[in-house]
């Protein structure tokens, strides 16, 4: 028999700061933890530290990308200086409305970023590719979220060749089309073996 | 007697209308619709009216009907230069349906009154929503009046509060609003259209009930400062009564949703 669920509304005083720490969906005021959402109370008791009091809603509220988060995005257009993407997933939670992001040319790769061997955006991404990237900045007035793929685990995960077939990665910078056997240049992500479906 | 009460010339006008048959407050203490001086109109509200919006609510206060829809928080649309680096931007729009008033309304939104109401709504909700949790994003609140019978701004605020709670946007507290007037030395709470059109002083108050903080206070016409405290007191009490009703609506909705999910 499950214990009765306690529902709370915004502004309701839940407990004092000595009895619990403020978690998600709450805020602190005058030494008390108050609810900020209408939902059910959830108390996680940790050993040693104070229990964390949070308010849980049935539907997930909108997540915002934070600096350092790994996001899954789709390339919508490329340019000689950057690639514009639509951010679709943050971690493993899908977003209801896509955010826009930018991957600059100097953030595509970790090595060989200098002027002599220029990284070419055309040889790293193409429109329609699904890319794993990390958020490096929330952006300022003029720009969107800035993303980076300058790690081995980040880069293109799914790409379609010019013939339309889904390509297979053969190295960190090349993918091959299974139908036409042509090789195309991409900045490929090294996906951990446990995540691959064989 | 026109001109009776030299310092308060509109008192004479009220008495004129009284003689014309429209008594805003009868001798027994009843108003035009049969309410007592401090009594609110019947409030009925529903949350989650639209499935496609993030949050929505419908409220009826007497004959005033308002619909509020909330979207967000999402990425800034339009000019990115308006984005605030540490907070979310609250974008409101107030509009009245063309069929909401006695005569067909020519301009639903964009006229001076609507722009002023929009600004008031924005100010009110920026005080209540915890905007620091969503930097560089935008929260949209759209309110529409379907039938206007006085207390338009107050119905909008109450509907928008319910819609914001329905959308799951964290708020400091509810925002409850009510209007109040002052007729014949008695403060009246929750004015309807007839009482507003009479031309007496009107106060609109938006309150955060738990902490007794005022989010917005607006007054029309003239009121002597000796009476101000009484009127604000009446408006505060009316706001707390509205809060009791809205609280019950939210709790019922949350119970219903959690039992449907089987938690």
Across the interface, do B254 and A7 touch by the CB < 8 Å criterion?
yes
Please give the radius of gyration of chain A, using alpha carbons only, rounded to the nearest integer. 22
Higher pLDDT, B72 or A148: A148
Element (H, E) at B207: strand B202-208
Tell me the residues of B at the A interface, defined by beta carbons under 8 Å apart. Answer: 54, 72-75, 80-81, 83, 85, 130, 134-137, 165-174, 208-211, 247, 250-251, 253-255, 257-258, 261, 263
Q: Tell me the per-residue pLDDT of B205-244, one tens digit each, with 9 for 90 and over.
A: 999 999 899 999 999 889 999 999 999 999 999 999 999 9
**Chain A: nearest CA to B179, how far in angstroms?**
23
Place of tokens 């091959």: A176
Q: What is the pLDDT of residue B262?
A: 65
Q: Which residues of A touch B253 (CB under 8 A)?
A: 38
Q: How confident is the model at residue A113 (pLDDT cuts 50, 70, 90)?
A: low
> A2, A7, A8, A9: which to substitute to probe chain B, counting the most B Cβ within 10 Å?
A9
Could you tell me if A133 and A103 are in contact, meaning their C-beta atoms sit under 8 angstroms apart?
yes
Q: Tell me the per-residue pLDDT of B158-176, one tens digit each, with 9 for 90 and over.
A: 999 999 999 999 999 999 9
CA closest to B212 among chain A residues: A11
Across chain A, the runs of DSSP E, i.e. the strands, are 7-8, 13-16, 21-22, 26-29, 32-35, 39-44, 52-56, 70-78, 82-90, 93-104, 130-137, 145-148, 155-158, 168-169, 174-176, 183-185
CA closest to B248 among chain A residues: A9
- Helices of type H across chain B: 9-19, 112-128, 152-167, 193-197, 225-261
**Chain A: nearest CA to B214, how far in angstroms?**
15
**Whole-angstrom Cα distance, residue B202 to residue B120?**
16
Q: Tell me the per-residue pLDDT of B97-146, one tens digit each, with 9 for 90 and over.
A: 999 988 887 777 778 888 998 999 999 999 999 999 888 889 999 999 99
Place of tokens 């007035």: A141
Q: What is the pLDDT of residue B148?
A: 93
Q: What are phi and psi of B106, to 5 degrees?
A: -70, -50
Least Cα distance to B32 among B188, B162, B173, B147 occurs for B188
Q: Which residues of A touch B210 (CB under 8 A)?
A: 11-13
**Chain B: nearest CA to A58, how far in angstroms?**
7
Q: Tell me the per-residue pLDDT of B17-58, one tens digit each, with 9 for 90 and over.
A: 444 457 788 888 899 989 998 999 999 999 999 989 999 999
**Whole-angstrom Cα distance, residue A18 to residue B145?**
45
**Whole-angstrom Cα distance, residue A39 to residue B258?**
8
pTM: 0.79
Classified as helix, coil or strand, B193 is helix
């Amino acid at each position: 028999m499950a214990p009765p669920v306690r529902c709370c509304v915004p502004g309701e005083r839940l407990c004092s700061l000595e009895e619990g720490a403020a978690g998600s969906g709450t805020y602190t005021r005058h030494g008390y933890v108050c609810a900020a959402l209408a939902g059910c109370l959830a108390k996680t008791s940790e050993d040693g530290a104070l229990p964390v009091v949070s308010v849980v809603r049935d539907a997930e509220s909108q997540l915002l990308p934070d600096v350092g988060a790994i996001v899954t995005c789709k390339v919508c257009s490329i340019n000689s200086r950057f690639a514009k993407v639509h951010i679709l997933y943050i971690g493993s939670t899908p977003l209801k409305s896509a955010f826009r992001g930018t991957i600059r040319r100097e953030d595509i790769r970790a090595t060989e970023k200098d002027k002599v061997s220029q990284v070419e955006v055309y040889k790293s991404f193409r429109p329609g590719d699904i890319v794993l990237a990390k958020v490096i900045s929330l952006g300022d007035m003029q720009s969107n979220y800035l993303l980076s793929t300058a790690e081995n685990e980040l880069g293109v995960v799914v790409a379609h060749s010019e013939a339309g077939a889904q390509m297979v990665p053969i190295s960190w910078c090349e993918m091959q089309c299974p139908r036409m056997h042509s090789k195309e240049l991409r900045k490929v992500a090294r996906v951990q073996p446990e995540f691959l479906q064989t | 007697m026109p001109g009776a009460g030299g310092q308060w010339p509109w008192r004479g006008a009220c008495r004129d209308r009284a003689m014309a048959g429209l008594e805003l407050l009868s001798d027994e203490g009843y108003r035009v619709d049969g309410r007592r001086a401090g009594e609110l109109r019947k409030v009925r509200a529903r949350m989650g009216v639209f499935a496609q919006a993030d949050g929505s609510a419908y409220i009826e206060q007497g004959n005033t009907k308002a619909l509020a829809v909330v979207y967000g928080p999402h990425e800034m649309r339009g000019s990115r230069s308006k984005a605030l680096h540490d907070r979310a931007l609250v974008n409101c729009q107030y509009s009245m349906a063309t069929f909401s008033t006695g005569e067909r309304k020519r301009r639903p939104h964009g006229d001076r009154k609507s722009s002023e109401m929009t600004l008031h709504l924005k100010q009110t909700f920026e005080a209540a929503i915890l905007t620091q949790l969503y930097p560089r994003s935008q929260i949209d609140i759209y309110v529409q009046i379907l039938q206007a019978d006085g207390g338009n701004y107050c119905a909008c605020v109450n509907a928008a509060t319910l819609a914001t709670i329905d959308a799951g946007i964290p708020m400091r507290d509810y925002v409850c609003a009510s209007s109040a007037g002052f007729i014949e030395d008695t403060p009246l709470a929750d004015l309807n259209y007839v009482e507003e059109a009479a031309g007496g002083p009107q106060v609109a108050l938006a309150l955060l009930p738990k902490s007794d903080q005022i989010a917005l206070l607006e007054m029309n016409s003239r009121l002597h400062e000796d009476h101000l405290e009484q009127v604000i007191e009446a408006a505060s009490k009316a706001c707390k009564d509205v809060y009791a009703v809205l609280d019950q609506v939210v709790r019922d909705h949350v119970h219903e949703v959690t039992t449907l999910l089987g938690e």
